[in-house]
Chain A
Amino acid sequence: MTAFDDVIANTTDIADGLVVHPAGDIDFSRSPNLRNELMQLMQNKSPAKLVINLAKVEYMDSSGVATLVEAMQMQSKRKGRLVLCQLQPKVESIFKISRLDMVFTIVNDEQQAVEA
């Protein structure tokens, strides 16, 4: 069950980890919530692989990107992985402009992310 102001709409367990589905724009008004939710999931479930499916995120600002960088670094410290998939055009462009598309593992769809 999710709270009204949750950014992550739902999660799915996979063999070696977890897929999370955030929904809605992720800007400075919502990125602190996303950060809290991701940190809680990583602490509680310690997923070897964390897949973030961004199909339902049409807009993200630099604070949302910063949250994902922090999550990637946390996963890396724990010897885990973070994979992003289904980036929408506006979200993809901010990763490219920040040159973070070369840093994150980004794939087209969730199936590829699960198999990555």
Chain B
Amino acid sequence: MTMHLEHFEIRLSSDPRHLPVIRATVTAIGHAHGFDGHGCHQLALAVNEALVNVIQHGYGGRPDQLIRLRIEPARRDGREGLCLVIEDDSGPVDLTCIRSRPLDEIRPGGLGVHLIREMMDEVTYSQRDDQAGLRLTMCKYTPTAQTAANKESA
């Protein structure tokens, strides 16, 4: 079965027990779109952190709320990639509240947004058009030959 796709959409409930399945799915799609093991791990970690933020902050831990995850092929500067779009129904959101804690402030939590920004090339939080919740769009592109070579020699 080939996982190469034009458009992939999952509707899932906000139950943390779905996280391993989503990570495995995103990893498989990442492989099919040219990402290496490290890139696939980064995609899976970013989507995991984004879903945890929705479950924890958007839905206050309620496990029966709807989350939509859409995955689409993308291209930038000749590089192939994937865009992942996550939408929830958590209501109007103050976008200025979405930020990481300062890394030198050692306390539990507050790292999810930092990890997402580190893992992905483009990250955009926005209100859904109907203001009914949050939309996170995050894209990642396969490394160029040069960056792959730099990584090898590092």
Chain A interfacial positions (CB closer than 8 Å to B): 25, 27-29, 59, 61-63, 65-67, 69-70, 73, 90, 93-94, 97-100, 103
Contacts and interface: CB of A to CB of B under 8 A. Distances in A.
A98 B102 CA distance: 10
Given A61-B48, A94-B45, A98-B115, A67 B108 contact: yes
A66 B56 contact: no
Contact of A27 (B16, B56, B103): B16
A103 B106 contact: yes
B68 interface: no
B17 interface: yes
B103 A66 contact: no
A87 B9 CA distance: 34
Given A61-B45, A70-B108, A94-B115, 19 more contacts: A25-B20, A27-B16, A27-B23, A28-B52, A28-B55, A29-B19, A29-B20, A61-B49, A62-B52, A62-B109, A66-B108, A66-B109, A66-B111, A69-B106, A73-B108, A93-B41, A97-B118, A98-B114, A99-B104
A65 B52 contact: no
A29 B23 CA distance: 13
Interface in B69-107: 103-104, 106-107
Interface residues of B, number: 23
Contact of B103 (A63, A94, A98): A98
Sort A-B residue pairs by CB-CB distance and give the 5 closest, nearest first: A66-B108, A29-B16, A62-B111, A70-B108, A28-B52
Contacts of B23: 27, 59
A93 B37 CA distance: 13
